[in-house]
A = this chain, B = another copy of it.
Amino acid sequence: MLPTLLKGGQLLFNWGDSPRNSEEEILKSVKIGICGLGTVGSGTVNVLSRNASEINSRAGCNIIIEQIGARRDNPNCDTSQISITRDIFDVVVNPDIDIVVELIGGTTVAKELVLKAIANGKHVVTANKALIAEHGNEIFKAAKEKGVTVAFEAGIAGGIPIIKSIKEGLAANKIEWLAGIINGTGNFILTEMRDKGRAFEDVLKEAQELGYAEADPTFDVEGIDAAHKLVILASIAFGIPLQFDKVFTEGITKITEEDVAYAQELGYRIKHLGIARRVGNSAELRVHPTMIPKERLLANVDGVMNAVLVQGDAVGPTLYYGAGAGDEPTASAVIADVVDLARTLTADPEHRVPHLGFQPDLLNDLEILPITETETSYYIRLSAVDKPGVLSTITQILSDAGVSIEALIQKEQPESAETAPVILLTNRTIEKDLMKAVEKIQSLPSVVGDVRHIRVESLK
């Protein structure tokens, strides 16, 4: 982590490894100030540091943490090379800072901070859904007057780029409705109740111990957090002002084990959904426990994960799934907003996002592996003459090739059958080793017809 000398002699701290072209051509820099160094703040510092080369190659500029405002240090991230102030308001008046990242939470000091940043001509990135849901109209008006942007992707569904997808990716559509699992705590509780037949209070207590739920869980279990997120999603989907006071909100505290069991019996699952639906010239905005058919993808989003299903008139249904909270998932969305702003601030406006996402002169030279060098598990199916010793020969060949067997199926065959199917599931192995063994097996006189293989991926 060496400092880089910029044009004009300014010494800058470069996060992570330097961009590859730092010697030939110095990238422009965009300077951010982070207010708040809790879970998301430390995640943001860590990801910006670890992925500096990747991020700067995408942004086409160096993104530099110029200052952090926080009441105390956070042992989860290294800020030894960054200027720290104990007064977060120092950050919003710092003339060197282009973008203020608000991660303090709450709606009083945060509102004052964001409005002051805007008044000082700073762009703002925030993860604060309560602030946007309750004061967004006022904040956006101030931002428009000053010609700055307030970005809030991190406020809704953690690292899932749902705001960008609706605002930009689905811009052609009249959005008919959307429905989302947008509170991980509630979804964790309902998942545990269903999987283990546990009572609400019991699971809530565990969620609090695991750190998924606050000591006062009202915001999560009564649906207020979900309502904050829903009102923002509805506004960008339907193009309406933020109207938090109009959201109907019902929590999950009254759901019993019996309800969960009866739902299963009826072919449904209970999820705590935020639903926004266009009905003629009106809209429904509601958060409540909802029974949905168990075969829907949303019904299969479990634990603390989030997902939003969006129905557009042209695109039909699309679904976006991922982690709804956590330090680095949320940091992912914070930094995406920073990169968006950085690209706008520094790039030729007609060429904001590079064709392949990375700047053309900063592409990587990863070697593409031939399939023979690939490592995965394999399903193998063959027909073998039904006589003693065949199976042990086959397993010996695999074992000699270093391939171990995860599962084996050999079915009882009718007396008249001369061959029997053998099905094997292997552990992870390099394809060329597997193929050598398959060739040997294929050449056995006791093996009839082709030995078939299908690659197996756990996708974990």
Cβ of A444 within 8 Å of any chain B Cβ, yes or no, is no
Of the stretches A82-90, A203-211, A307-315, A389-397, the one at the interface is: A307-315
Contact B379 A291 (CB under 8 A): yes
17 A-B pairs with CB atoms under 8 Å apart are: A57-B239, A123-B350, A144-B360, A147-B351, A158-B315, A159-B170, A170-B336, A179-B459, A240-B365, A240-B366, A262-B379, A266-B409, A273-B457, A285-B368, A293-B459, A315-B323, A318-B323
- A356-385 interface bits toward B, Cβ cutoff 8 Å, 1 = contact, 0 = none: 111010111111111101110001010000
Partner of A421 from the list B258, B321, B356 (CB cut-off 8 Å) is B258
Contact A455 B288 (CB under 8 A): yes
Task: Give the shortest distance, in Å, between A236 (CB) and chain B (any CB).
Answer: 4
Cβ of A228 within 8 Å of any chain B Cβ, yes or no, is no
Q: How large is the interface on A (under 10, 10 to 19, 20 to 34, 35 or more residues)?
A: 35 or more
Cβ of A104 within 8 Å of any chain B Cβ, yes or no, is no
- Name the prevailing secondary structure of the A interface residues: mixed
A254 to B357, CA, bound (A): 36
Task: Give the shortest distance, in Å, between A217 (CB) and chain B (any CB).
Answer: 20
Cβ of A290 within 8 Å of any chain B Cβ, yes or no, is yes
Cβ of A173 within 8 Å of any chain B Cβ, yes or no, is yes
Partner of A350 from the list B147, B159, B339 (CB cut-off 8 Å) is B147
* Chain B residues whose CB sits within 8 angstroms of the CB of A279 once the complex forms: 369, 375
- A161-194 interface bits toward B, Cβ cutoff 8 Å, 1 = contact, 0 = none: 1001111111111100001000000000000000
Contact A262 B409 (CB under 8 A): yes
